[in-house]
Amino acid sequence: MTAKPLIQARDLRVSFQLPAQGALPWARPRLLHAVGGVDFTLMPGETLGIVGESGSGKSTLARALIGLVPATGQAIWQDGTDLIGLSARRMLKYRSQIQMVFQDPLASLNPRMTVGQIIAEPLTTHHKGLGRDEVKVRVKDMMDRVGLLPNQINRYPHEFSGGQCQRIGIARALIVQPKLVICDEPVSALDVSIQAQVINLLDELQRDLGLALIFIAHDLSVVKHISDRVLVMYLGRVMELAESQALYAEPRHPYTQALLSAVPIPDPQLERDKRMIPLRGELPSPMSPPSGCVFRTRCPRAEALCASERPALGSGAHLTACHFPGALRPEELAIKA
Amino acid sequence: MIDARQMQSLAARLAQPEVKGRSPWADARRRFRRNKAAMVSLVVLILVGLFALLGSQLAAWSNEEMDFSIMGQAALLGAPSWENGHYFGTDDLGRDLFSRTVQGTQVSLMVGLIGAGIAVVVGTLYGATAGYVGGRTDAVMMRMVDVLMSIPYMFVLILLLVIFGRSMSMLFLGIGLISWLDMSRIVRGQTLSLKNREFIEAARATGVPAWRIILRHIVPNLMGVVAVYATLLVPLMILSESFISFLGLGLQEPLTSWGALISEGAGTMNYGTLWQLAFPLFFFCITLFAFFFVGDGLRDALDPKDR
């Protein structure tokens, strides 16, 4: 495929300033590096899954892309514009192209607005010329499309179930016909059966509308189901980025292997024989990330080189940020575990 | 068991062109209606309101006339009576207390409602803006409120009334100046907690301009707190106006208010004209009680925990 990438992130960084507790107002604030230099490209119509444990910077990355948190680095849109650091006025044009679906279905809907008003909001923001009736027709079409009864347009969010609320969220994101939808853990708050419905809906809409998706989750099996490529994050950095099939079949980074080994297998026999890769300790503080490879403090294979030098992501189809990639050997697990 | 009739009504409901939603306000209204004390108080308030609006039609004497047959002999002849048309009796000058009370009710309610109204409009917008914008703007705006709050307002109000003369507009200005301060603080706090909710983030991500986020997303979600606080603010405004009038600094005669009437009544209570104190005081008390009960009922009805 020689098409231009839809969005291309280069060295994307997000840091938050934390004023130290009890410090004087002019003291230098401490920096928290939530995202520390992320590179990826996304083709039109592609789905990129982002996985990683809590606090690894997945959601912050998403918020940086739509300009909700200030970031540095570059995120080049299809037409060559860098989205990072655009003024609010110039960003407005791209806001209709990039939409977001949020984690908590109910919390992401204003409780005082009707479903119709909620879904219509992006439309009235970006297409000011539309008449009332036209807006209503489009909202009803979109409700029908995401599997909501269009006659419920005047109901309020609290009258819907979690899955329906998430459908409302999806309808709101799609009404302006975006090219990229960022889904920030869209199914983590839902029951498993509803999860499947919502994911299938997203899958179907993506195929029909040619959307690109960035799908953030901590549920690896969900990501495997929906993604073309998967990006594994740890402490704000990319650990591994590969085609979904390749990554799940043959994970190279020790962190990815540990993450995948924690996925339960719905077969008691296999589950019993499975070898878990235990990770000890906690995620290090992003205030003072470890030198070199950020994962080295918990890696069963860490050596002196890992502390001194930061591994590069490299190039190719299967990218791994590790000095010693490859499957972990049983003796390595035995020593460290 | 689901019977056929129920199924039919469900089917009819689903087939309607547009189903009507049950808004959070409607829920609150239902909860409020179940609160007996609040409903009784609401009825009392409506009656007091009607008394203020229509009372002058019922009065046999206007509030400007003096009954010269009673003047100077209020303790003997001025007691409440149906025969001579002074339902609530008269004051020492022979003015009809019924129409005076009607007039005082009008003035006091107006002071309360306008004071609370200023607080709601100014305080809500000021607080919501400060909370939503945040950062340095917020710090500057809220320090200004702190500075204004630290001024002993009763003292300033008295000075204003002494220097610029006693007038209705001066009273409104003075009360309006201070009434919104508390409200803006409350609203700012609520805004801070709302600001990071996901639906605000969703609106920001879509590119909704800040003023529309404040007006469409933040303010409607604040209205519960604001409504409760406003109903509690009305009696406070009435109280402070009454206090000023009681000191003799409020309104210029012949205008009157509950505070002024109570003051007059209290001044003559030793001379056997207790009705001059009792009637204004009765209206004053039931109105304050009713406002507080309604505020309480609203708070229960709009409790965010039940949403």
Taking residues A144-166, report their average pLDDT.
Answer: 89
Is A131 part of any domain?
yes
Do A222 and A260 belong to one domain? yes
Provide the edge-to-edge strand list for the sheet that holds A30-42.
Answer: A30-42, A7-18, A72-77
Of A174, A204, A226, at which residue does a domain stop? Answer: A174
> A96 to chain B: which residues are within 8 Å by CB?
206-207
Do A283 and A166 belong to one domain? no
A277-286 pLDDT, tens digit each: 777 777 888 8
Do A234 and A308 belong to one domain? yes
Of B114, B111, B63, B119, nearest to B88 by C-alpha is: B63
Substitution target in B198, B217, B222, B305 with the highest count of A β-carbons within 10 Å is B198
Taking residues A305-311, report their average pLDDT.
Answer: 84
Residue A3 has pLDDT above 80, yes or no: no
Q: H-helix or E-strand containing A302?
A: none
Do A230 and A152 belong to one domain? no
| Beta-carbon separation of A151 and B14 below 8 A | yes
Is A102 part of any domain?
no
Spatial distance between the Cα atoms of B47 and B175, rounded to a whole number of angstroms = 26
At A337 the pLDDT is 43
At A336 the pLDDT is 47
Is A1 part of any domain?
no
By the 8 A CB rule, do B95 and B63 touch?
yes
**B:58-77 residues touching chain A, CB 8 A cutoff:** none
Is A104 part of any domain?
no
> Number of structural domains, chain A?
2
Quote the domain boundaries for residue A140: 113-174
At B2 the pLDDT is 64
B208 touches chain A (CB under 8 A): yes
CATH of residue A213's domain is 3.40.50.300
> B208 to chain A: which residues are within 8 Å by CB?
121, 125
Spatial distance between the Cα atoms of B130 and B118, rounded to a whole number of angstroms = 18
Taking residues A213-218, report their average pLDDT.
Answer: 89
By the 8 A CB rule, do B288 and B238 touch?
yes
A237-243/A229-234 β-pairing:
antiparallel
Q: Which tokens in the block code for residue B53?
A: 């609006």
Do A254 and A133 belong to one domain? no
Taking residues A311-334, report their average pLDDT.
Answer: 78
Spatial distance between the Cα atoms of A34 and A15, rounded to a whole number of angstroms = 6
Is A24 part of any domain?
no
Of B204, B200, B228, B207, nearest to B302 by C-alpha is: B228
Record the pTM. 0.79
| Beta-carbon separation of B205 and A172 below 8 A | no
Do A90 and A210 belong to one domain? yes
> A152 to chain B: which residues are within 8 Å by CB?
19, 21
Do A207 and A312 belong to one domain? yes
Closest partner CB to B207 (pick from A92, A107, A109): A92
> A107 to chain B: which residues are within 8 Å by CB?
197-199
Please state, rounded to an integer, the average pLDDT across all residues of chain A: 85
Closest partner CB to A155 (pick from B19, B201, B204): B19
Of B100, B69, B68, nearest to B259 by C-alpha is: B100
Of A134, A149, A174, at which residue does a domain stop? Answer: A174
Closest partner CB to A156 (pick from B14, B23, B208): B23
Do A242 and A328 belong to one domain? yes
Of A129, A152, A174, at which residue does a domain stop? Answer: A174
Confidence of residue A221 (pLDDT cuts 50, 70, 90): confident
- The ipTM is 0.82
Do A183 and A86 belong to one domain? yes
At B307 the pLDDT is 43
Is A138 part of any domain?
yes
Amino acid at A182: I
Stretches in chain B below the pLDDT threshold 70: 1-2, 14, 74-75, 78, 303-307
In this structure, the number of other CB atoms found within 10 A of the CB of residue A21 comes to 5
| Beta-carbon separation of B217 and A110 below 8 A | yes
Which of A147-161, A296-310, B74-88 is least confident?
A: B74-88
Q: Which domains does chain B have, with CATH numbers?
A: 61-70+86-306 (1.10.3720.10)
Do A192 and A148 belong to one domain? no
